[in-house]
Amino acid sequence: MTTMTSPPKTTTSQVPEAMLERFRERADAHDRDNTYFHADLEELRAIGYLASDVPVDHGGWGLSLAELGRSQRRLARYAPATALATTMHLYWTGMAGDLERFGDDSAAWIMDAAVNGEIFASGHAEAGNDLPILFSTCAAERVDGGYRLTGRKMFGSNGPVWDWLGGHAMTVDGGGPQIVHFFLARGSEGVTVLENWDTLGMRASQSYDTVLDGAFVPDERIGRVVPAGDDSDLFLAATQMWALPTIANVYLGIAERALEVAVAWAKRKTSIGIDRGSYAHNPFVQHQVAEMYLELDAATAVLDRLVDDWMTGVDHGAAWGAKIFAMKWRVVESAKKVVDTALDVTGGAGMIRGNELERLYRDVRCGGFHPANDALAHEMIGKTALGIGAEPPRW
């Protein structure tokens, strides 16, 4: 995988605190009613956040990967599903900026579209494919002036609002199996978006399925055509690098909020057996809070270090894939533990509907499903450590 130098430093803007408070107030209703965060999105659009990682000279805020990650982590403390779904849009704009920094302006139109308020979705998830991006169950057929796509994508966050679906499909036209990375306009013929999201957590992300029935993508909206199974192209490297750490930051933000909630609760909760007042004086509760802190501290270090390595051009060579998967696995597992322990601290109050922790508990469980899941992370990390390549057979 190619490494990346630090992007030029520009101004840093922030989502205002009062706006975030409004998002938190709405989050419970969106979760309960299984509705998309339209009002949050409009507020974010109005302040230019949907182009926050687009360089300033393109009309964005110019946030670096590290800055965007911290911002999404903060957003997740208020509205996890809003943070997760906007991540699916912002990783495309971030990827486009990285390409341009390396002298490839083929994706610059993505940044312009985002500045104009258009929304990108990620169309990588497919049933029956645990190696998204590298392989595909969707077919791409070469036709005059572009490709026709047939297949089904799932878990497409921002389902009600996306304008462009950035995804991938497999073709054998023109040689061996190749992956066609495309950006498909929502209104194209042969595109059907199915409103089928009703899940355990991250409910406001409204991550719908999209059925592709010969949908046409013109050549100018094809990002790359690369050999199947090969992720060495910068387009793929930058896509993964903007996606996975930013997704991890969302789950870290949930864990940070869970600690905050647990601490506040421990200070309020009393026991007839504790003379000094609150549960904060219970040594077991102090231990639990320390455990949460220790998990968060380590997970934060792993995540920030990975992003820093990428931005400063550290050469991990072929180990980059294992590094990214290890980071994502560590952060999500730590986040789940932190939220679990937060519930131990609050006790039964935390399981009552309407309690923020009850929602965070469900939201954080979604972290393990994003690539790489537990099995794939261990497979890739184990193979890398053992020096086993990706050549078939897989096992």
Ligand X SMILES: Cc1cc2nc3c(=O)[nH]c(=O)nc-3n(C[C@H](O)[C@H](O)[C@H](O)COP(=O)(O)OP(=O)(O)OC[C@H]3O[C@@H](n4cnc5c(N)ncnc54)[C@H](O)[C@@H]3O)c2cc1C
Does the footprint of ligand X cover residue 79 (CB under 6 A)?
A: no
Q: Which structure tokens are listed for 11? A: 């101004």
Does the footprint of ligand X cover residue 2 (CB under 6 A)?
A: no
Instruction: Write the CB contacts of 200 (distance below 8 Å, at least 6 apart in sequence).
Output: 362, 365, 366
Closest to ligand X by CB, 153 or 330: 153
User: Which residue bears the tokens 């609150």?
Assistant: 278
Residues belonging to the chain: 395
- Minimum Å gap between C-beta 138 and ligand X is 12
Closest to ligand X by CB, 94 or 123: 123
Closest to ligand X by CB, 84 or 255: 84
Residue 17 CB neighbour total at 10 angstroms? 9
Of 122, 206, 210, 334, the one binding ligand X (CB under 6 A) is 122
Nearest to 31 by CA among 149, 146, 198: 198
Instruction: Write the CB contacts of 94 (distance below 8 Å, at least 6 apart in sequence).
Output: 53, 65, 68, 238, 242, 246
Of 134, 139, 170, 202, the one binding ligand X (CB under 6 A) is 202
Distance CA 337, CA 247 (A): 17
What is the DSSP-derived secondary structure letter of residue 185?
Answer: E
Distance CA 311, CA 324 (A): 14
Whether the ω angle into residue 372 lies within 30 degrees of 0, i.e. cis, is yes
Task: Give the contact letters, 295-314, x = binds to ligand X (CB under 6 A), - = no.
Answer: --------------------
- Minimum Å gap between C-beta 371 and ligand X is 5
Distance CA 123, CA 287 (A): 43
Q: Exposed e or buried b for every residue in 26-49, given b needs 16+ CB within 10 A?
A: bbbebbeeeebbeebbebbbeebb
Do 77 and 260 meet the contact criterion of CB atoms below 8 Å apart?
A: yes
- Minimum Å gap between C-beta 103 and ligand X is 28
- Minimum Å gap between C-beta 366 and ligand X is 4
Task: Give the contact letters, 208-247, x = binds to ligand X (CB under 6 A), - = no.
Answer: ----------------------------------------
* Contacting range for ligand X; rule: CB under 6 A; set: 64-72, 288-296, 352-360, 370-378: 370-378
Does the footprint of ligand X cover residue 205 (CB under 6 A)?
A: yes
Of 38, 59, 373, 390, the one binding ligand X (CB under 6 A) is 373
- Minimum Å gap between C-beta 154 and ligand X is 6
Nearest to 45 by CA among 136, 119, 127: 119
Closest to ligand X by CB, 101 or 152: 152
Of 26, 74, 77, 124, the one binding ligand X (CB under 6 A) is 124
Whether the ω angle into residue 218 lies within 30 degrees of 0, i.e. cis, is no
352 SS3 class: coil
Q: Per CB under 6 A, which of residues 126..185 are in contact with ligand X?
A: 127-128, 130, 154-157
- Minimum Å gap between C-beta 119 and ligand X is 11
- Minimum Å gap between C-beta 126 and ligand X is 7
- DSSP H or E run through 332: helix 320-346
Q: What angle do CA 169, 227, 167 make, to 5 degrees?
A: 25
Closest to ligand X by CB, 207 or 240: 207
* Contacting range for ligand X; rule: CB under 6 A; set: 68-76, 109-117, 201-209, 339-347: 201-209
Does the footprint of ligand X cover residue 366 (CB under 6 A)?
A: yes
Of 207, 240, 246, 249, the one binding ligand X (CB under 6 A) is 207
Q: Per CB under 6 A, which of residues 82..121 are in contact with ligand X?
A: 84, 88, 121
* Contacting range for ligand X; rule: CB under 6 A; set: 3-11, 299-307, 346-354, 367-375: 367-375
Look up residue 172 and give its amino acid.
V
- Minimum Å gap between C-beta 199 and ligand X is 7
- Minimum Å gap between C-beta 321 and ligand X is 16
Q: Exposed e or buried b for every residue in 67-80, given b needs 16+ CB within 10 A?
A: bbbbbbbbbbbbbb
Q: Which structure tokens are listed for 272? A: 């007839």
Closest to ligand X by CB, 247 or 381: 247
Note the residues at the interface with ligand X (CB under 6 A): 84, 88, 121-125, 127-128, 130, 154-157, 202, 205, 207, 366, 369-371, 373
